[in-house]
């Protein structure tokens, strides 16, 4: 299992770096709505790949709503955060976004009304809203971070979150004794949590130091102070654990071990993104 996790993790990191590189190769057009270009490769990946896969998993975990409606909720939430670029555009876009939320609820209710029983109506209506809040909007903040910064800032922040996960995993395996919240995640320990905090803080500081050294030779590298990098890494580690536990709560309620089985050794897409999702808004606030 560990070998599979390492192989799958390495492939996912390579895919992330490949997408980041491809996103930097696209030309940038300037229009009245601002720059068009940064983040659009990643936004396309969210729409075409991540949203459909996550929609199936969220529909199963919440046991409510059509996967199609969940996908619309994820895509709509991400684009509502990513697309507006000025206060005027927000004023134009957000009323339609809130109308879209009401439309999603109505669509979910209509689809459920076709069934012979009203049992599960609340889950059918609330499930897509959970996808909007827990998946779509956080992904939108990651896209927003890419739009405002270079791709390598985004990649560094994502890697920092995952390094915290890795530090927590191996520390917990090595010296973990006291359970964190056993009813949600029996494998998590306080020792592992502390190991994740240390790993995230150290890696964030190292990324900040590396950015300062690299900025002189590469105009596309944005310098981040070592202190700021360490604080960001610490915050990523904390919210990463919160996201992991939140997904564990959904899985326990659904009675499943993993959110899916598409990734060998890791489970589903949500099992990989759980720590990243809640870190999205935090990354944007800390690094913007």
- Give me the long-range contacts of 41-46 (CB less than 8 A, separation at least 24): 42/142, 42/143, 42/146, 42/154, 43/78, 43/79, 43/82, 43/143, 45/19, 46/74, 46/75, 46/78, 46/139, 46/143
Contacts of 156 (CB under 8 A, 6+ apart): 207, 211
pLDDT at 186: 87
- CA-based nearest residue to 131, from 54, 43, 50: 54
Could you state, in chain order, the average pLDDT of each consecutive group of 10 residues for the chain (288 residues)?
Answer: 79 84 74 65 91 95 92 94 82 85 92 88 92 96 90 89 93 92 89 96 93 67 85 96 94 91 89 93 91
pLDDT at 223: 79
Question: What is the Cα 249 distance to its own chain's centre?
Answer: 17
pLDDT at 128: 94
Helix (H, G, I), strand (E, B) or coil at 267: strand
Residue 276: phi and psi, rounded to 5, are -80, -30
């Amino acid at each position: 299992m560990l070998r599979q996790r390492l192989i799958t993790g390495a492939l996912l990191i390579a895919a992330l770096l490949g997408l980041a590189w491809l996103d930097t190769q696209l030309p940038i057009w300037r229009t009245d709505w601002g720059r068009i270009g940064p983040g659009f490769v990643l936004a396309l990946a969210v729409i075409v790949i991540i949203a459909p896969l996550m929609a199936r998993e969220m529909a199963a975990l919440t046991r409510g709503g059509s996967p199609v409606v969940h996908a619309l909720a994820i895509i709509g939430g991400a684009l509502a955060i990513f697309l507006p670029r000025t206060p005027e555009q927000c004023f134009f876009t957000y009323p339609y976004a809130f109308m879209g939320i009401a439309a999603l609820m109505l669509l979910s209710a209509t689809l459920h009304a076709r069934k012979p029983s009203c049992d599960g109506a609340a889950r059918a209506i609330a499930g897509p809203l959970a996808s909007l809040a827990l998946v779509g909007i956080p992904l939108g903040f990651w896209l927003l971070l890419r739009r405002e910064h270079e791709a390598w800032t985004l990649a560094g922040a994502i890697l920092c979150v995952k390094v915290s996960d890795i530090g927590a995993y191996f520390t917990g395996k090595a010296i973990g004794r006291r359970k964190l919240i056993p009813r949600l995640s029996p494998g998590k320990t306080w020792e592992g949590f502390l190991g994740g905090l240390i790993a995230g803080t150290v890696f964030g500081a190292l990324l900040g130091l590396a950015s300062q050294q690299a900025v002189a030779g590469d105009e596309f590298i944005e310098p981040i102070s070592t202190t700021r990098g360490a604080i960001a890494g610490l915050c990523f580690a904390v919210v990463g654990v919160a996201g992991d536990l939140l997904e564990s709560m959904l899985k326990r309620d659904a009675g499943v071990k993993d959110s899916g089985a598409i990734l060998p050794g890791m489970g589903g897409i949500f099992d990989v993104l759980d720590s990243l999702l809640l870190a999205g808004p935090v990354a944007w606030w800390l690094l913007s």
